[in-house]
Amino acid sequence: MNLKRSDFPDGFLFGAATSSYQIEGHAFGGAGRTHWDDFAATPGNVVRAEDGARACDHFHRMDEDLDLLKAGNFDVYRFSTSWARVLPEGRGAVNAAGLDFYDRLVDGLLARGIKPAATLYHWELPSPLADLGGWRNRDIAGWFADFTEVLMRRIGDRVWSVAPINEPWCVGWLSHFMGLHAPGLRDIRATARAMHHVLLAHGRAIQVMRGLGMTNLGAVCNFEWSAPADDSPEAARVAELYDGIYNRWFISALFKGAYPDTVLEGLGPHMPDGWQDDFATIGEKLDWFGLNYYTRKLIGPAPAPWPALQEVEGPLPKTQVGWEIYPEGLYQFLARTRAEYTGDLPLYVTENGMANADAIVGGAVRDDARIDYLNAHLAQVRRAIAEGVPVKGYYCWSLMDNYEWSLGYDKRFGLVHVDFDTLQRTPKASYHALARALSR
Ligand code: FCB
């Protein structure tokens, strides 16, 4: 790394992130079935129909993984909690082993001097709730509030921070409009409802946690820089629409109490009754805001119904998943978020990283491309800080290779290599480089 801890302000936090379904092994410990199990079992949805039944077997290897965080000199660990592990039916009976697992995780982090940063929902909806319409059903806000209460009554006294929902765009648009994540719908009415209910559920969870006296509560959204594919007015218009759908819908609701007009032109007719009355709940005061950032997209018009746009392949170097590497976008989003939405609120980069075709050669993994990616993006974080943007921390995605959703197990985002046959962990060159950069 060409940066070190002392290049950042005192108290700046460095972390690594994971999520429950992607690492734990959902077959273990009494977790209930989730819509990701159902999605993966349906041919054509996931590469080789892989699922999270075993994943990294973090369920049985938690201590080893927490030791990796400690030895990597990380200050904070962003993990998520599986709704179906805690409440196998989504509501009602509690799985004691599930609560015990997260209790041990939090205590294991604290014992190692690492701050626990929890995300309540990173996409594995309990199947019985999907049966009831999942994110299309307004009642999900209440179900989610109840789950929040059950879990936080157990670990809420010791977690350092909490965000209710990871990446509402993925919960809404990617899963209900594009059909690329569970439940795999391609339906505009379902999309409009999911894009609203996910925010309502966020707000209800914040209310529950405030009621329990909790602090340091935030939200995490994902951002993709949207650039016109050419210099035509049509491309400019659809790039702005893409920006509205992807980048502005959720953050406008959270911080301005409104949805972007350009997006309502398409979704408005499909919104659930009374949506205008929910912004007081959606906009509950937050203590921080998190941005997940990976790439940009070139957007051009498409001969199709609204939104009548398409992604166009760009010229920049790409990662293993075909995403262009565009570090400037991270700076642009940090600056814009502060200027237009969050003001003095502390910001965190809650995910950033790259997939790389990593392999163990002679016992080592030389992922120099990842070191370059991290250097370039951290430089953009420093640029934002130098201009007064209150960025307080940065989390790498991900601590270890894991289940990359519909792309299965061979897209490797980890700082630590995982052999998915033996489950052996091998820290990559990027892990060692970061550990050195972060040593005190
Ligand atoms: C983010 C997700 C995370 C992982 C990375 C690559 O959108 O939050 O689970 O899939 O992308």
What's the pLDDT tens digit per position in 192-246?
999 999 999 999 999 999 999 999 999 999 999 999 999 999 999 999 999 999 9
User: Is 118 strand, coil or helix?
Assistant: strand
How confident is the model at residue 164, as a pLDDT? 99
Determine whether 340 is an active site residue.
no
Q: What are phi and psi of 312, to 5 degrees?
A: -120, 140
pLDDT, one tens digit per residue, over 128-138 is 999 999 999 99
| pTM (predicted TM-score) | 0.98
Kindly state if the Cβ of 222 falls inside 6 Å of ligand 1.
Answer: yes
Instruction: Answer for the pair 323, 251: CB distance below 8 angstroms, yes or no.
Output: no
**CA nearest to 191, candidates 272, 117, 73:** 272
Q: Is 403 in the pocket of ligand 1 (CB under 6 A)?
A: no
Question: 106 is in which domain, residue-wise?
Answer: 5-438
Q: Is the CB of 397 under 6 A from ligand 1?
A: yes
Instruction: Find the CATH number of the domain harbouring 99.
Output: 3.20.20.80
> How remote is the CA of residue 290 from the centroid of ligand 1, in Å?
14
pLDDT in tens, 396-412: 999 999 999 999 999 99
Pocket lining: 8 vs ligand 1, CB cutoff 6 Å: no
| Confidence at residue 193, expressed as pLDDT on a 0 to 100 scale | 99
Q: Which of 167, 224, 324, 404 is catalytic?
A: 167
Compute, in angstroms, the gap from residue 434 CA to the centroid of ligand 1: 20
Transcribe 204-222 into DSSP letters: HHHHHHHHTT---BEEEEE
Domain total for the chain? 1
Task: Give the tens place of pLDDT for each residue, 43-65.
Answer: 999 999 999 999 999 999 999 99
Alpha-carbon gap, residue 216 to 209, rounded angstroms: 10
Catalytic residue flag (residue 167): yes
Contacts of 398 (CB under 8 A, 6+ apart): 16, 17, 18, 22, 353, 413, 414, 415
